[in-house]
Amino acid sequence: MSEDKPRIGVAMIGYAFMGRAHSQAWRNAHRFFDLPLEPHMAVLVGRDEQRATSAARQLGWDAVETDWRRVIEREDVDVVDICTPGDTHAEIAVAALEAGKHVLVEKPMANTVAEAETMAAAANAARGRGVHSMVGFTYRRVPAIKLAQQMVAEGRIGEVRQVRAQYLQDWLADADAPLSWRLDKEKAGSGALGDIGAHIIDLTQFVTGQRIAGVSGMLDTFVAERPVAESFSGLHGTGGTERGPVTVDDAAMFLGRLSSGAPAVFEATRFAWGRKNAIRIEVNGSTGSLAFDFEDMNVLHYYDATESTETAGFRRILVTEPDHPYIEAWWPAGHGLGYEHGFVHQAVDLVRALGAGEDPTPSFEDGLHVQRVLDAIERSSAQHSTYTEIGD
Amino acid sequence: MSEDKPRIGVAMIGYAFMGRAHSQAWRNAHRFFDLPLEPHMAVLVGRDEQRATSAARQLGWDAVETDWRRVIEREDVDVVDICTPGDTHAEIAVAALEAGKHVLVEKPMANTVAEAETMAAAANAARGRGVHSMVGFTYRRVPAIKLAQQMVAEGRIGEVRQVRAQYLQDWLADADAPLSWRLDKEKAGSGALGDIGAHIIDLTQFVTGQRIAGVSGMLDTFVAERPVAESFSGLHGTGGTERGPVTVDDAAMFLGRLSSGAPAVFEATRFAWGRKNAIRIEVNGSTGSLAFDFEDMNVLHYYDATESTETAGFRRILVTEPDHPYIEAWWPAGHGLGYEHGFVHQAVDLVRALGAGEDPTPSFEDGLHVQRVLDAIERSSAQHSTYTEIGD
Amino acid sequence: MSEDKPRIGVAMIGYAFMGRAHSQAWRNAHRFFDLPLEPHMAVLVGRDEQRATSAARQLGWDAVETDWRRVIEREDVDVVDICTPGDTHAEIAVAALEAGKHVLVEKPMANTVAEAETMAAAANAARGRGVHSMVGFTYRRVPAIKLAQQMVAEGRIGEVRQVRAQYLQDWLADADAPLSWRLDKEKAGSGALGDIGAHIIDLTQFVTGQRIAGVSGMLDTFVAERPVAESFSGLHGTGGTERGPVTVDDAAMFLGRLSSGAPAVFEATRFAWGRKNAIRIEVNGSTGSLAFDFEDMNVLHYYDATESTETAGFRRILVTEPDHPYIEAWWPAGHGLGYEHGFVHQAVDLVRALGAGEDPTPSFEDGLHVQRVLDAIERSSAQHSTYTEIGD
Amino acid sequence: MSEDKPRIGVAMIGYAFMGRAHSQAWRNAHRFFDLPLEPHMAVLVGRDEQRATSAARQLGWDAVETDWRRVIEREDVDVVDICTPGDTHAEIAVAALEAGKHVLVEKPMANTVAEAETMAAAANAARGRGVHSMVGFTYRRVPAIKLAQQMVAEGRIGEVRQVRAQYLQDWLADADAPLSWRLDKEKAGSGALGDIGAHIIDLTQFVTGQRIAGVSGMLDTFVAERPVAESFSGLHGTGGTERGPVTVDDAAMFLGRLSSGAPAVFEATRFAWGRKNAIRIEVNGSTGSLAFDFEDMNVLHYYDATESTETAGFRRILVTEPDHPYIEAWWPAGHGLGYEHGFVHQAVDLVRALGAGEDPTPSFEDGLHVQRVLDAIERSSAQHSTYTEIGD
């Protein structure tokens, strides 16, 4: 059977945790959604050819390269999907954009503001040539989060007054969990702050439609030294007897103000025993509230203060109805989605934007702003938590 | 890149709701799990060639047939996956088994005990020829349910004393929701009883490791006439002005006893406003309890009565750890799964059993027993709810 | 300071668990609520004078009697409050009513239908003389339950289609928990059925405004012999080496139909490990649902099916607002009530009815009907769960 | 009947919301708990004699005074219980202590650090004369909170690593809710900060057994002007057409460090629509976590990280077992307590300490420290949220 739709070739660089999630998206997006272009999983890039070949076979990629520079020259590649550690993002993304490839880059977009500025400038220049870029804040694509964003935009909770957001994990709470690149400032840029704090910064900005204008931050590292990992499987590794330093934060706490002046409270930690992936955001407005927790990801809680107090209460909206964002393509009501669906929706939104010749979101400018927030938190933390404004 | 693994060819009959879920499974199972055979999506069967072709393209099937009899003759087909309404299951399954094809059949296995007996006999005969069969009770493959089954088997809650199980939906609670084949006794066999009651019967038997030995049933139809559907999308259709009779039950309530004598209480309904897919099962044992609700499908609640009362309490186990059933193949802790993953796990379990030359479960005998329970409930309901024993 | 209000003298018979709860009500009702009569805790009755005297001092009663016959003659007694085991209710209540005393009797009203009929007849006769009676189904007075009843009556969920109700406890799940009068059929009438099943029968009838018209029952006793108790504290005792038989049911399961024909599913058990006092009722109507669980007693869940599916969801109504039943007398919103408040509300409702010369509810006729339902369940259980109609 | 126990006379100053709660405590504490001294509700103080007399009658006080100076001279008064607005606390408390009366003062202890220092000095001097004092942080007496404190002290969660605490209300979220003394800096000292922020400061210190050593604060007032109240009932008033300024904070956000250096995140607001009295505290330790929310006040959540990941999960401990703090005096398991029980427990703890000649807790020194934290938050907020250390 021939396929009618034009293809869009994808090259994915990196194939660890994020690479597996992105592959699932590219493999399935067009099976559920009506897309203008059909993704073609053209090539996977990994430095170790044997392992990359095995991964490509497992994940469904047609070819393998060991040098990312090769794929940005390939004719069958339209999109470069960057799933490597943060210290490599800028170089690859800029080169890809200059080579005329659309770019999807995992978050955090970069390890420093300077890198992010370079990337945003490159994206801006590329845009003029019809070449687009996007940052992978996939949690925006969780249906309940998208619904929250829509409801705020529609004025369902009135004017935003306050936000509280947390990202709580516990995979480092064990002091003997081994070191990985995620605990190395050179590779990762920062710790909980950039890895998971970046998500709640983006979600807060996405849901409220505002930017964070200033922050007062406090960072902490609870466990200063850990065993060096001998092997890894997902986030979990096996440590040996050698020990090495943790050079990033274990937890990041910060107060902030949105562009409207509304205050917000944030916390990102990998040390909250029992919280596995608790991404929480609550927005209180002048006429209602919205609350979300990723540990119950198919649910959005909504309080409508315009109702009679006799029967008002937080509604547990099961965000699985056909009229909810992204849901019509999937299953009947009550048949919930999982973690990976956010990646499918990301691929859908990207391909639709590219098909329409429009800029996908979040843009590299959005990613740059998040980077500036991260930077301001670090600077505030270093200066007695003094409130630090964030430029545009 | 060549693929090293031998392929196993699949033919899928029907491509509606269940067909889409099964396709997702066949397309992705080997991407996450290490399987002895690689599924090949050989052929999709649908009576309307044009629509079937379109579906095959969308879902990723290589070819199309309009007559299921053709596929059981095809050499490239090893497994026949039956996703059609219940009235067709027996004929197709028996023919496929006789033709030497392994069979996966959606639940309920059949519309009558007689059909199910025929199918179980055919499965038994085929087994002797190395041809295997399986019924699609996918909820067994939800990791939290599988964990519950393991924990009962390991004695973690002692001897099973009581079970309560519910399957609550609301998609028919609107009296103007239109008729579909699911409300037609000829096509569907029964209503809530066979469609969703069958699931809680199977889950109760699976989790406890026991069979239901007798039942006292009560069936009800709340809305006797509905608009005839003009079009359908998923479970939801648009009704016209013509009305037709509902010939199945809207809700099924039944008391039962397990083979050990332990009592159980069941309810299946499509009229519980606000409950979208609430499959609930709670098992109370002599030393603890387990509870599950599909509306929070990544969670299993566990009460260990051997703990001090000072700190005992239902534990909310987030069933997303690498040592939980099926999870290691997926994502890090806290990154939950969705509805469709049960179908992936079903494909995994089936392919692994076939690769090992072993019988997959649940077997057609298991399906026959569920059919006998359904039948006993209908008979009890017709006889003033008199307790009715179920033969083996 | 003189008190302006006329007093209403109360005699309480029995001073165990229920006696302590009733005392708390009589002591505090007029401190929060504006009552037409001020309760006077005139006399406590107990067979052992020393223990009764000590209890009276502790609980705040002015005097003690060792024979209940004495108090129904006392001029300072207007209300006889019966908190003894069920086998004594009929004799005391009938005598008190004949002596012109109002009667409040703990549930279940009696141990047999015959006793309950005698009591209802006496209540009916007394009513003509301005003497009133009431059964102590206190859970009706939990604000969330009363709100549910009002909402059903106001049509907020449309026509009642289905009910599911459970009363789950675990205080007998330990097979070594000792015998008490509650496990002795002579004293208690029945086990879980009458003790806690009676509550969900009453709540179902109260919330729906309907009667249960017929039932199909199944009773079970899991632990046939237990240690004889040497001492007791609340529900918990210490057993010795001697063992005695359990002569009541440990769990009661029953299907039922309301007077409208709507089906209902019930379960009462003291063997559900981890469930401490889980009184649950869910009512599904034609336009919405209501759900309650006493383990979160200040909350009522409400689903309004007339809302858009985009934002519909079970609302978690915190029933602590001034416009909620009984709440205005207590604390600000969010400052929840506890178990004993139901008893305070019961005293309030009784005193207000007596002050107005009106019949309080639930009446002895209501209690008699519950007794008939209990009896029908036992008879159905003894006859293969055959559906058994309940007369009026 | 004579009472054997010596009495302890109580004078209560003020009889609004807090006065009603304290009266309930004095009236009932000895009915459930075995106390060394029996509380005697000797005298209520209110400036308006008629209203005070009416309140005394309603609440059960034996006498009335219109000037608090009179009661500290009365021989029948042993304890002065101060329930007035914060600006009067210091004067009354110091005078009462000097007159040899034990003092219980509502929180926040004072409106300024200077006042609190004076009070602490007076308490210290009085202690030498056997005269004791206590601050009314009643939430310490919620059984689940007390259990959390015990578990931390016993090392059940290891070393404390992080705390997050919130106190969320919504009674001011309506911009038309009228002014009251609680919104007047002169009377109340501060807004959400002192009224409810003080509670989460105290709870954090109580549960962790540590003091807050420094803070970075941010205060906000969302609604600058409100209608002047014409009448009040509880927290809720009716406003007229006149408007007046809000001179306190509406919300207080702050980061902090405990004496061990562990970071903590706090938020107190009266603008979180839908949150009625959500006092939340979560403590993450090196081997486990504890979490509490007053909206489900009979529950403590506990995660034990020493359990196998296969079955680990937050346990929902229903803190209603006889071996839980304060519970044995009340009801059987599952029969939860309400808001006012904290006040009963406070009276119990105070009377027991006085009976034993011991210092009750929290002391005025504890109250002074909370005042210093509040002050540091205000100063930090005024200085760009700069981290501000708190002296001892």
- Contact state of C331 with D60 under an 8 Å Cβ cutoff: no
Note whether B183 and B310 are same-domain residues.
Answer: yes
pLDDT for res D181: 85
Q: At B94, which CATH number?
A: 3.40.50.720
* Percent of chain A whose predicted confidence (pLDDT) is above 90: 91
* Residue in A151, A300, A311, A324 to test binding to C, most C beta-carbons within 10 Å: A311
- Return mean pLDDT, chain A: 95
Residue in chain B closest to D143 (alpha carbons) equals B310
Contacts of A199 in chain B (CB under 8 A): none
Q: Is residue C391 part of a domain?
A: no
Q: Searching chain A, which residue's CA lies closest to the CA of residue C334?
A: A313
- Would you say residue A261 lies in a domain? yes
A269 within domain boundaries: yes
pLDDT surpasses 90 at B292: yes
Note if the bond before C108 is cis, omega within 30 degrees.
yes
Asked whether residue D355 is assigned to any structural domain, the reply reads yes
Chain B residue whose CA is closest to A316: B274
Residues C57 and C27 in one domain: yes
**Mutate which of D311, D318, D321, D324 to test chain B, going by most B C-beta atoms within 10 A?**
D311
What pLDDT score does A132 carry?
98
User: Which pLDDT score is estimated for D237?
Assistant: 67
Q: Which residues of B touch A169 (CB under 8 A)?
A: 334
pLDDT of amino acid A232: 61
Whether B119 has a pLDDT exceeding 50, the answer reads yes
The one-digit pLDDT tens for each residue of chain C (392 residues) are 445 789 999 999 999 899 999 999 999 999 999 999 999 999 999 999 999 999 999 999 999 999 999 999 999 999 999 999 889 999 999 999 999 999 999 998 999 999 999 999 999 999 999 999 999 999 999 999 999 999 999 999 999 999 999 999 999 999 999 998 889 998 888 999 999 999 999 999 999 999 999 999 999 999 999 998 776 655 566 777 889 999 999 999 999 999 999 999 999 999 999 999 999 999 999 999 999 999 999 999 999 999 999 999 999 999 999 999 999 999 999 999 999 999 999 999 999 999 999 999 999 999 999 999 999 999 999 999 999 999 86
Per-residue pLDDT of D64-112, as tens digits, reads 999 999 999 999 999 999 999 889 999 999 999 999 999 999 998 999 9
Q: Which of A1, A58, A320 sits opposite B31 (nearest CB)?
A: A58
How far apart are alpha carbons C339 and A110 in whole angstroms?
56
Q: Which of D95, D110, D138 is a domain's end point?
A: D138
Distance from CA of A335 to the nearest CA of B (A): 5
Q: Looking at the domain assignment, is residue C62 inside a domain?
A: yes
Chain C residue numbers with beta carbons less than 8 Å from the beta carbon of A322 are 309
For residue B233, pLDDT over 90 is answered with: no
Kindly indicate the confidence band of residue A2, based on its pLDDT and cuts at 50, 70 and 90.
very low
Domain count for chain C, please give it. 2
Look at residue A4 and tell me whether its pLDDT is greater than 90.
no
- Chain A residue numbers with beta carbons less than 8 Å from the beta carbon of B328 are 233
Per the structure, the complete domain to which residue D225 belongs is given by 142-362+369-382
- Taking the CA of residue C332 and the nearest CA in chain D, the distance in Å comes to 6
pLDDT above 70: residue A115: yes
**Which residues on chain C are in Cβ contact (under 8 Å) with B385?**
216, 255, 385-387
A384 to chain B, closest Cα gap in Å = 34
Are A164 and D161 an interchain contact pair (Cβ–Cβ within 8 Å)?
A: no
Integer Cα distance of B286 and D246 in angstroms = 60
User: Given this model, what pLDDT does residue C391 score?
Assistant: 80
pLDDT given at position C315:
98
B92 shares its domain with B146: no
- The verdict on B205 and B314 lying in the same domain is yes
What is the rounded distance in angstroms from the CA atom of residue C170 to the CA atom of residue C173?
5
The reply to whether B96 and B119 lie within a common domain is: yes
pLDDT-based confidence at A237, cuts 50/70/90? low
Question: Do A23 and A115 sit in the same domain of this protein?
Answer: yes
Size of interface C-D (CB pairs under 8 A): 120
Chain A neighbors of D218, CB-CB under 8 A:
216, 255, 257, 263, 387
Predicted pLDDT at A236 = 61
Low-confidence spans in chain D with pLDDT less than 70: 1-3, 231-237, 392
CB of D154 within 8 Å of a chain B CB? The answer is: no
Which of C51, C339, C344 would best serve as a mutation to test chain D binding (most D beta carbons within 10 A)? Answer: C339
Q: Is the ipTM of this complex over 0.90?
A: yes
A211 and A263 assigned to the same domain: yes
Judge whether D391 lies within some domain. no
CB B173 to CB C251 under 8 A?
A: no
Q: What is the mean pLDDT of residues A76-99?
A: 96
B105 and chain A in contact, CB less than 8 A: no
Instruction: Indicate if the pLDDT at residue A233 is higher than 90.
Output: no
Joined together, the tokens standing for residue C16 give 């165990």
CATH number (domain holding residue D153):
3.30.360.10
Boundary (domain end) residue, out of A138, A163, A179: A138
- Which residue, of C120, C138, C156, is where some domain finishes? C138
Task: Note which residues in 202-241 of chain B have CB less than 8 A from chain A.
Answer: 233-236
Would you state the pLDDT for residue B2?
43
Tokens 């959606």, located at residue:
B106
Backbone angles phi, psi at B179, to 5 degrees: -65, 150
Note whether C274 contacts B305, CB cutoff 8 Å. Answer: yes
**Residue C392 covered by a domain:** no
SS3 state at C91: helix
Contact D315/B at CB under 8 A: yes
The reply to whether C163 and C68 lie within a common domain is no
Average pLDDT value over all residues in chain B: 95
Query: Residues B177-190: what's their mean pLDDT?
Result: 89
Note the pLDDT tens digit of each residue in C73-124: 999 999 999 999 889 999 999 999 999 999 999 998 999 999 999 999 999 9
- Residue A304: pLDDT band (50, 70, 90) is very high
The verdict on C287 touching A (C-beta cutoff 8 Å) is: no
For chain C, say whether B272 makes contact (Cβ under 8 Å).
yes
D169 and D269, same domain (yes or no): yes
Identify the three-state secondary structure at position D52: helix
User: What distance in Å separates residue D317's CA from the closest CA in chain B?
Assistant: 4
Per the domain annotation, does D1 fall within a domain?
no
Q: What percent of chain B has pLDDT over 70?
A: 97
Model confidence pLDDT, tens digit, residues A199-220: 999 999 999 999 999 999 999 9
- What is the reported pTM? 0.96
Phi-psi region of C370 (alpha: psi -120 to 50; beta: other; left: phi over 0): alpha
The reported pLDDT for the residue numbered A204 is 98
Residue of D nearest to C170 (CA): D333
Tokens of D122: 């007076």
CB contact under 8 A, D265 and A253: yes
H-assigned helices in chain D: 17-32, 49-59, 68-71, 89-98, 113-127, 143-153, 185-188, 192, 198-208, 341-356, 364-382
Q: How large is the average pLDDT for residues A130-153?
A: 98
Res C236: pLDDT: 61
List all chains that touch chain A, counting a touch as 3 or more CB pairs closer than 8 Å: B, C, D
| A33, A295, A324, A345: best to mutate for the B interface, most B CBs within 10 A | A295
Residues B74, B4 contacting (CB under 8 angstroms): no
Q: Are residues A165 and A287 in the same domain?
A: yes
B277 — phi, psi (to 5°)?
-155, 55
C-alpha–C-alpha distance, residues A28 and A37, integer Å: 13
Looking at the DSSP bridge assignments, the partners of residue B104 are B81, B134
Q: Please report the pLDDT score of residue C4 as a whole number.
A: 74
DSSP string, A26-41: HHHHHHHS--SSEEEE
Tens digits of per-residue pLDDT, B59-101?
A: 999 999 999 999 999 999 999 999 998 899 999 999 999 999 9
pLDDT at residue number B69: 97
Do residues C116 and C375 make contact, with C-beta atoms less than 8 angstroms apart?
no
- Residues B193 and B304 both lie in one domain: yes
The answer to whether B200 and B279 have CB atoms below 8 angstroms apart is: yes
Reported as a single tens digit per residue, the pLDDT across A49-81 is 999 999 999 999 999 999 999 999 999 999 999
Residue C249 sits in the same domain as residue C166: yes
Rounded to whole angstroms, the Cα distance separating B331 from B333 reads 7
What tokens were used for A188? 């990762």
Buried b (16+ CB within 10 A) or exposed e, D280-311: bbbbbbbbbbbbbbbbbbbbbbbbbbeeeebb
